[in-house]
Structure 1
Amino acid sequence: MSSYDVVVIGGGIVGAACAAELAGRGRRVALVERGRVASGTSAHCEGNLLVSDKGPGAELELSKLANAAWSKLSGSFREELGDDFPDIEFEAKGGLVVATTDGGASALLDFAATQRTADVAAEPVTISEARRLEPWLTDRMTAAVWYPGDSQVQPTIATEALVALAHLRGASILEHHEVTGALRDGGRLVGVRTTAGDVHGRDVVVAAGPWSGEVSALLGAPLPVRPRRGVVLVTAKMPQRVFHKVYDADYVGAVGSGDVALMTSSVVESTPGGTVLIGSSREQVGFDDAFRANVLSELARKAISIFPFLTETAIIRSYSGFRPYMPDHLPLIGADPRLPGLWHATGHEGAGIGLSLPTATLIGDLMDGAPTQIDATQFAPSRPTLAAELEAVA
């Protein structure tokens, strides 16, 4: 019988970050993954570390902590893992948000003004200044805002690095352990049943991304986490023509929308390997991963509206993934008042890569009973904005 201080469910980047953080604080940790680590959502996304898409509020506060945490990790992870570990490709490249209509320009500039009240560097730039940053931009641009705080990381390698850090710090990595139910002692959760045997732990953290709704239901405390599908296009390699993270002003509205129908906006960026990634789409179709040509054509059309040179560029592949959507658009971080011993670190939707590190720090501080860097009640399962949703899934 395996027994630990903490069982973390989910081998994506949020679970890996929690396992590394808690093991680093001296806890005996098991990271439980139903397949292979870094094989789900964290391997099917772009690796965005953004402040530019969030208005003032709790998630923006967490994002500001995230940028500092990733910058620190990028300079220190090899101190533990050694120089032979692959680079996580952290790039503090900055982001440029552009509008191509008068209405879009007004909305973009107004949104940037609200962000500046929250101490975000959101700098309106002239069309000529924008073109100096991105010479290949469309002539139809009507406004642009520069965000020096936007960054990028290679999400799969970053996840693998956090798993390796967790293991080096003493965590057990239990792959091919699918959770099938709860272990209880009286009214307290004391571990999980899995397809490979029981795993006991004083505390259990659900960090299963878009599958967190299913996992939490198996444990007896359902969550309103739903999958939201996103698709990314990948171009052939080319000489670099995109130098920052560039997206159209529609992206912010798509991030904050609860619409279940297909929504697309243009997000374009280069990779160190010479390809260009083109997103983004959002649709609630359950876990249906069927190929949809209309989604790809919409992504291509909107990307061309920002960078016309892409008309002549070959697309070599596409990939899709599922993001953990929460109805109130806030991550779920903290102890579940319905079931002692149960914790949550999920619901980040498309921001999970960036927010993984401060989420893990919050979980660690809360478990330690220590002061948190920001107000953790904003993300608590007991927050008022979730009351009706929790009642609906109970």
Structure 2
Amino acid sequence: MNSPRKTFDVIVAGGGLMGISISVGLRLRGLDVLVLDGCDDDNRAARGNFGLIWVQTKGHTFRPYAQLSRKAAKIWPAFSSQLKELSGIDVGLEGDGAFYLCMSEGEWKDRAELMRKQFDNDLPVAAAYEMMERGDLDKHIPGLGNSVVGGCYGRLDGAVNPLKFFRALHSAFGAIGGEYRASSAVTEIRPAGSDFQVTAGNSTYSCAKLVLAAGLGNNQLAPMVDLAMNIRPVRGQVLATNKLPKSLHYPTHTIRQMSEGAFIIGDSREEVGLNDGTTPEVMSAIARKAIACFPVLADAQLLRAWGGLRTFTKDGIPLYLRSQSYPNAYAVNVHSGVTLAPVHAQDLASAIEEGNLEARFPDFSRERS
């Protein structure tokens, strides 16, 4: 029996959405890639993944982030097709836009002003959105509650099935010859000349390039290659119902009905450290708002509730860093792992392979105050 390989072109620490997206891209460029991942019960950002491809207001305070999100949305259809070809899994891309529902006149006006600023004035995109009052909204989303006064339709937005997407990425990576080790969280990194010695469990591996995409784990790993990430956890609680007759044909920012009929609902952002549990108070608030939006949910059965820790940089903007001390070591983090996945698998993977990260991502490759 052959012993497991120990030397690779690239090691990626972390097999979440970002790590595996980059790994697929690097492997497609012909590099030998090993993904070292943690355990299923680790604090995984993917647990809070809602599957949205969200462009509305993304980067409204930071223009390059808005541009990056719009680019990603544009190439999502081709990326979805590529994943299906590689993995045989249809990720369920919904590309006909998505809605933000407004619960008051003030919220509607604030949303309209924000969208005008972003899509009409700052970075204009013709017909990127439409603000709808209740009468027009009812034509697209029947069965809304009386509390909904209107909404914003974003034509650039969409969604995927989050579980199928994650499975498709991992299946594609394996199909193209990538190597993956579960229960193998990286614990030590030792630079060795121009290479790196990476320890996970009882094994040590060698690589020429190293990518740290370990979410909260980057806070401990990045200093080993003279980088600092300062990632903070933000909890989101998610509810899932039983299967209901299909009635919601568009994703909204907090409520989706999946193709098989179940609703998934998520509407919390909590700074609670590493606590990824659920609380009755927050779940009740999420449920009340969901029922106010869609009264049919009052009769739904709650089948499951869970919490997930999403990973945020200090300012919420993607961070793609390269070590000055060890130029072949990278550390990356975003909380838009679904939206930006095509960019990570294509542009970011290419920049890592070619060693021109700063030129390709000048606004994201430096530490921001």
Q: Considering the TM-score relative to the shorter chain, is it more than 0.5?
A: yes
Q: Deviations over 1:225-246 (max 9, x none)?
A: 1111111111111112222122
From 52, 57, 65, the equivalent of 2:71 is 65
Output the CA distance in 1 between the equivalents of 2:175 and 2:241.
37
Q: Name 2:55's counterpart in structure 1.
A: 51
**What secondary structure sits across from 1:241 in the alignment?**
coil
Q: Deviations over 1:284-307 (max 9, x none)?
A: 212212331111011112222322
**What secondary structure sits across from 2:337 in the alignment?**
helix
Letter in 1 for 2:219: G
Q: Deviations over 1:138-195 (max 9, x none)?
A: 2333332211221111223222222222223232112221211112125x66131111
1:200 is displaced (CA, Å) by: 1.0
Letter in 1 for 2:324: P
1:201 is displaced (CA, Å) by: 0.9
Q: Name 1:263's counterpart in structure 2.
A: none
CA shift in 2, pair 1:151/1:38, >3 Å: farther
Output the CA distance in 1 between the equivalents of 2:137 and 2:9.
52
**What secondary structure sits across from 1:235 in the alignment?**
strand
1:206 is displaced (CA, Å) by: 0.8
Output the CA distance in 2 between the equivalents of 1:74 and 1:94.
16
Is 1:192 aligned to residue 195 of structure 2?
A: no
> Structure 2 matches for 1:1-394, cutoff 5 A?
2-35=6-39, 40-56=44-60, 57-81=63-87, 85-117=88-120, 118-120=123-125, 121-185=128-192, 190-217=196-223, 219=225, 221-247=227-253, 267-346=254-333, 348-349=334-335, 351-369=336-354, 376-380=361-365, 382-383=366-367, 385-386=368-369
1:55 is displaced (CA, Å) by: 4.1
Q: Tell whether the 8 Å contact from 2:216 to 2:311 is kept in structure 1 after alignment.
A: yes
Q: Tell whether the 8 Å contact from 1:221 to 1:339 is kept in structure 2 after alignment.
A: no
Pairwise CA RMSD of aligned residues? 2.5
Output the CA distance in 1 between the equivalents of 2:40 and 2:311.
19
Output the CA distance in 2 between the equivalents of 1:288 and 1:105.
33
1:371 is displaced (CA, Å) by: 7.7
1:19 is displaced (CA, Å) by: 0.8
CA shift in 2, pair 1:360/1:335, >3 Å: farther
For structure 2, the 5+ residue unaligned runs are none
Q: TM-score, normalised by structure 1?
A: 0.84
Output the CA distance in 1 between the equivalents of 2:68 and 2:286.
29
**What secondary structure sits across from 2:260 in the alignment?**
coil
Output the CA distance in 2 between the equivalents of 1:21 and 1:55.
24
1:44 is displaced (CA, Å) by: 4.0
Output the CA distance in 1 between the equivalents of 2:260 and 2:345.
30
CA shift in 2, pair 1:58/1:37, >3 Å: farther
Q: Deviations over 1:254-312 (max 9, x none)?
A: xxxxxxxxxxxxx1110011011111211121221233111101111222232233223
Q: Tell whether the 8 Å contact from 1:91 to 1:151 is kept in structure 2 after alignment.
A: yes
Q: TM-score, normalised by structure 2?
A: 0.89
Letter in 2 for 1:32: L
For structure 1, the 5+ residue unaligned runs are 248-266, 387-394
**What secondary structure sits across from 1:245 in the alignment?**
coil
